């Protein structure tokens, strides 16, 4: 809410700087968006009196004006406004002035005629289109007759005010009014406000109830509903003081009836609606839910199609307003209005909110109905409005208020003990401190030596329970004054659990292996969500009402997100990309059930893992490099289970000849390989290698206990074997056999050469292994090694039909 500092001063003897007041408000009450003066950034704008004018000889729309700016001689200013006229006070920007949008005004010649400045419209001195009065849309603004030429225009237009723009939290609906602000500021500065209410004088004997009736069959949608009628009104512009109050509050002045309703809205936070009494199709007023599909033309000339949840004010069952949201075009106040029906009501906050939201019609009124209305001022507000209209539009107020519904506010009594206050806030307040705070808030309280019993006024409908009172005490006492402590240490031990530790170290391992952590979007397309699954988990969970077609479904794999990242990099000329991601995948369980969230880890390498330098040319990544990363990772995970890699030619998105499933014992836990060229093309990425692992079985698998293996002081012996073998036999089969049959002293098997080509027959490959033997307890003798080596060679011949080379 845009709170005028000058308006506050009418009710409070306050002498702090507006900036300091704003800081205090922020610390005690509501957040502050901005503190500004309407005159900020504007200079050299003075009152000018147009003494005479003549048409410009070379233009059909410009006028040459002689303007008194308080100097000995008039100055000449060329003006193009259609409503420029002699004998009026106008806004003059002198040469050197800064006007709106930081435009600088210079002495100039306009079509040959000297112009010493500029005569300005309100829009040219910073007024927004939304706020500047419509009547002057096309022209300049006239200052009051009593304005003195040469003086600053700011005081005449209320532009010397300072506006504190507050950002109000949902609970503090009371701060949407001057009254609320005055009360709260009075509380934290310990001031006595002199807020004035204007009493109504019913100057017509005519009974309102003879003119109009109101019946609310369903008081839940309109718990309070009241009407007044003002007759014989003369619609005109409001006086300048009223217009200033409105435009400084960000509301456009319209006429002396509508402006009064808006003034009351700001002053009390009570929205009022004014109907043209004579245009109401009937004078039997009611409030009901709309009929599904019912049409209604609102003030802004839009035809709205309503739904059954909407609420409308009706006259003889015909809608005349969207309750609390916007009035109807047909019954709006216009220049020929002579009688006004004023509505002051409370509508159901949720229904107003839904209606305003659905129709995108958030207004000053709907905001206040949504945040709450003080039931105590519904009548005060309509009375004061009626009186003001009577005064400003020379109307007569008829006798009596017509009440369609009325819900008397229930008294709110909240109790809190002094001990509780100090226990929760960590303070050491005494009873008098707390009583003072309640007094400053103007909450009636009683203390019985132990407990405060507080009667909460209706204007603070957010205060209902003990915790609410604690907040009031805390903020008025001042959060700055609350001590700073830490919770007392107890014997609770914090820390990560085993799973969290493993996940954290899984990240560190991959970073150590050269992959950068990526965090991609978990929501993706349905197609991408279900690609690259380790085991087929079906179709992904889909959002009911997504925001964009790129983020529709929860991912069931991490690779697709990483490939989007690769594509993003490739499109920006990044050739070497090494990423990993650790995060959740979502495995659907059943419709209407939450998916199972699995922790996965995945990586991608495109281009080179190491960048080339002048000294060192590196190889582009291949299958074996990414596999090396996976192997090292799994090694670090210290699994007791047996990890094996098995070729899988059937993964749709993967290269059929360069992909291996990864098994932990006989459970598949992931895969590693090259992206299928077709998939790479779809993602617009070059040759890329990926892996994805389900961390859940890795977390669940027992870990190898750390135990030091003494390093043998006896020498080891190695034997190399080179063999020709059918090319469908895998390395893994051979290594398994060697390990299985290698004897007690075999400590290591290392593949050191793979060869196919010249000198190797078709359908065969040459493999060479180095076998290392060692005895922990004594020096190994050649004979034992020879025996073991011969045995394993024989087994290899027997099982795989190898030829030793």
Q: How far apart are CA 230 and CA 401, in angstroms?
A: 11
**Beta bridge pairs of residue 559:** none
Give 238 or 606: the residue with its C-beta nearer to another protein. Answer: 606
Which CB sits closer to another protein, 577 or 672?
Answer: 577
**Cβ of residue 462: shortest distance to another protein, in angstroms?**
9
Half-sphere exposure (Cβ direction) of 424: Cα atoms closer than 13 Å: 14
Kindly state the tokens that stand for 492.
């609770």
- What is the DSSP secondary structure assignment for residue 539, as one 8-state letter? S
* Nearest to another protein of 169, 726 (CB atom): 169
Q: How far is the CB of 295 from another protein (least distance, A)?
A: 26
CB of 142 to another protein, least distance (A): 35
Closest to another protein by CB, 147 or 463? 463
Q: Least distance to another protein from the beta carbon of 77, Å?
A: 36
| Cβ-based neighbours of 790, under 8 Å, separated by 6 or more | none
- Distant-in-sequence, close-in-space partners of 783: CB < 8 Å, separation ≥ 6: none
Shortest Cβ distance from residue 281 to another protein (Å)? 33
Q: How big is the chain, counted in residues?
A: 805
- Nearer to another protein by Cβ, of 622 and 799: the residue is 622
> In the complex with another protein, which residue's Cβ is closer, 188 or 645?
188
> Least Å distance between CB 312 and another protein?
20
Least Cβ distance, residue 567 to another protein (angstroms): 10
**Smaller CB separation from another protein, 19 or 107:** 19
What own/partner pairs with CB < 8 Å and gap ≥ 24 does 292-295 have? 294/319
Residue entry with tokens 């019954």: 331
Nearest to 265 by CA among 328, 157, 173, 391: 173
Asked whether 226 and 404 are in contact (CB, 8 A), the reply is yes
> Rounded to the nearest whole angstrom, what is the least distance from the CB of residue 436 to another protein in the complex?
19
Taken in order 753, 754, 759, 761, the sign of the CA dihedral is: positive
Say how many Å lie between the first and final Cα of the chain, rounded: 90
CA atoms within 13 A on the CB side of 441: 28
List, as one string, the DSSP characters of 72-137: SS-EEEEE--TT--SS-EEEEEEEEEEEGGGEEP--EEETTEEE-SEEE-GGGGT--TTTS-GGGT
- Contact at 8 Å (CB) between 260 and 357? no
Distance CA 640, CA 643 (A): 9
Measured CA to CA, the distance from residue 708 to residue 419 in angstroms comes to 59
Strands 402-405 and 654-664: unpaired
Q: Do the beta carbons of residue 527 and residue 556 sit within 8 Å?
A: no
Q: Shortest Cβ distance from residue 612 to another protein (Å)?
A: 8
Nearer to another protein, 411 or 483 (CB): 483
Tell me the β-bridge partners of 314: 286, 319
CA–CA distance, 125 with 97 (Å, rounded to integer): 11
Q: Between 221 and 729, whose beta carbon lies closer to another protein? A: 221
Shortest distance, position 19 Cβ to another protein, whole Å: 10
**3 state DSSP class of 447:** strand
Beta partners for 646?
Answer: 661
Rounded least distance, CB 55 to another protein, Å: 47
Strands 667-675 and 523-524: unpaired
* Shorter beta-carbon distance to another protein: residue 128 or 611: 611
**Nearer to another protein by C-beta: 171 or 209?**
171
Cβ proximity to another protein, 367 vs 659, nearer residue = 367
Inter-residue contact 229 to 396 (CB < 8 Å):
no
Q: How many CB atoms lie within 10 A of CB 639?
A: 18
| Cβ atoms of residues 567 and 535 within 8 Å | no
Q: Please, which residues bridge with residue 517 across strands? A: 580
User: Is the Cβ of residue 337 or residue 560 nearer to another protein in the bound state?
Assistant: 560
Nearer to another protein, 14 or 513 (CB): 513
CB of 660 to another protein, least distance (A): 22
The nearest distance, CB 122 to another protein, in angstroms, is 26
Are 9 and 16 in contact by the 8 Å Cβ rule? The answer is no
If the CB atoms of residues 545 and 708 are measured against another protein, the closer one turns out to be 545
Query: What is the smallest separation between the CB atom of 594 and another protein, expressed in angstroms?
Result: 5
Distance between CA 754 and CA 758 in Å, rounded? 13
Min CB(477)–another protein separation in Å: 10
């Amino acid at each position: 809410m845009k709170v005028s500092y000058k308006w506050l001063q009418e009710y409070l003897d306050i002498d702090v700087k507006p900036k300091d007041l704003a800081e205090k408000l922020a610390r005690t009450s509501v957040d502050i968006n901005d503190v500004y003066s309407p005159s900020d950034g504007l200079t050299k704008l003075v009152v000018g009196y147009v003494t005479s004018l003549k048409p410009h000889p070379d233009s059909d729309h410009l006028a040459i004006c002689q303007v008194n700016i308080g100097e000995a001689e008039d100055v000449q200013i060329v003006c193009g406004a259609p409503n420029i006229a002699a004998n009026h006070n106008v806004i003059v920007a002198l040469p050197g002035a800064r006007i709106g949008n930081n435009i600088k005004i210079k002495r100039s010649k306009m079509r040959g005629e000297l112009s010493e400045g500029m005569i300005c419209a309100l829009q040219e001195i910073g007024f927004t289109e939304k706020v500047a009065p419509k009547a002057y849309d096309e022209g300049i603004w006239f200052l009051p007759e009593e304005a003195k030429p040469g003086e600053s225009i700011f005081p005449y237009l209320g532009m010397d005010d300072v506006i504190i723009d507050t950002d109000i939290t949902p609970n503090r609906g009371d701060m949407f009014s001057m009254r609320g602000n005055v009360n709260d500021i009075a509380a934290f500065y310990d001031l006595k406000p002199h807020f004035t209410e204007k009493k109504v004088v019913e100057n017509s004997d005519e009974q309102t109830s003879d003119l109009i009736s109101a019946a609310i069959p369903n008081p839940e949608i309109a718990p309070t509903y009241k009407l007044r009628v003002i007759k014989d009104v003369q619609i005109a512009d409001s006086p300048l003081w009223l217009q200033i109050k409105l435009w400084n509050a960000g509301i456009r002045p319209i006429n002396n009836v509508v402006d009064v309703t808006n003034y009351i809205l700001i002053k009390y936070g009570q929205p009022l609606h004014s109907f043209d009494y004579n245009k109401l199709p009937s004078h039997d007023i009611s409030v009901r839910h709309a009929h599904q599909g019912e049409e209604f033309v609102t003030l802004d000339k839009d035809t709205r199609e309503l739904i059954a949840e909407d609420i409308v004010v009706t006259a003889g069952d015909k809608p005349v307003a969207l309750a609390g949201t916007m009035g109807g075009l047909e019954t709006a106040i216009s220049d020929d209005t002579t009688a006004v029906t004023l509505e002051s009501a409370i509508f159901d906050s949720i229904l107003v909110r839904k209606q305003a939201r659905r129709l995108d019609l958030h207004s000053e009124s709907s905001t206040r109905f949504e945040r709450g209305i003080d039931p105590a001022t519904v009548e005060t507000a309509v009375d004061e409005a009626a009186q003001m209209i009577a005064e400003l539009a020379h109307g007569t107020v008829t006798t009596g208020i017509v009440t369609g519904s009325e819900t008397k506010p229930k008294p709110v009594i909240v109790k809190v003990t002094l001990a509780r206050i100090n226990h929760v806030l960590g303070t050491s307040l005494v009873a008098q401190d707390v009583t003072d705070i309640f007094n400053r808030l103007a909450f009636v309280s009683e203390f019985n030596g132990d407990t405060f019993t507080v009667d909460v006024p209706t204007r603070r409908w957010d205060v209902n329970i003990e915790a609410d009172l604690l907040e009031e005490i805390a903020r008025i006492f001042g959060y700055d004054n609350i001590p700073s402590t830490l919770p007392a240490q107890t014997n609770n031990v914090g820390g990560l659990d085993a799973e969290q530790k493993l996940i954290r170290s899984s990240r560190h391992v991959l970073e150590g292996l050269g992959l950068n952590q990526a965090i991609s979007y978990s929501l993706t397309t349905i197609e991408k969500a279900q690609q690259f699954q380790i085991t087929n988990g079906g179709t992904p969970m889909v959002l009911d009402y997504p925001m964009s077609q790129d983020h529709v479904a929860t991912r069931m794999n991490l690779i697709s997100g990483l490939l989007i990242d690769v594509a993003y990099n490739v499109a920006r000329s990044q050739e070497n990309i090494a990423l990993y991601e650790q995060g959740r995948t979502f495995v659907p369980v059943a419709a209407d059930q939450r998916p199972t969230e699995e922790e996965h880890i995945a990586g991608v390498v495109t281009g080179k893992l190491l960048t080339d330098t002048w000294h060192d040319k590196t190889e582009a990544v291949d299958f074996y490099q990414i596999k090396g990363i996976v192997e090292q990772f799994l090694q670090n995970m210290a699994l007791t289970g047996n990890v094996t890699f098995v070729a899988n030619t059937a993964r749709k998105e993967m290269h059929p000849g360069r992909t291996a499933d990864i098994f932990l014992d006989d459970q598949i836990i992931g895969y590693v390989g090259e992206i299928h060229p077709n998939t790479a093309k779809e993602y617009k990425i070059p040759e890329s290698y990926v892996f994805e692992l389900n961390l859940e079985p890795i977390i669940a698998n027992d870990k190898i206990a750390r135990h030091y293996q003494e390093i043998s002081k006896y020498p080891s012996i190695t034997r190399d074997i080179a063999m020709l073998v059918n090319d469908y036999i895998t390395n893994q089969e051979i290594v398994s056999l060697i390990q299985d049959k290698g004897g007690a002293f075999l400590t290591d098997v290392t593949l050191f050469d793979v060869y196919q080509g010249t000198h190797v027959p078709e359908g065969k490959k040459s493999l060479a292994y180095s076998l290392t033997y060692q005895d922990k307890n004594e020096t190994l003798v050649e004979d034992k090694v020879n025996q073991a080596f011969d045995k394993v060679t024989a087994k290899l011949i027997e099982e795989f039909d190898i030829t030793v080379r």
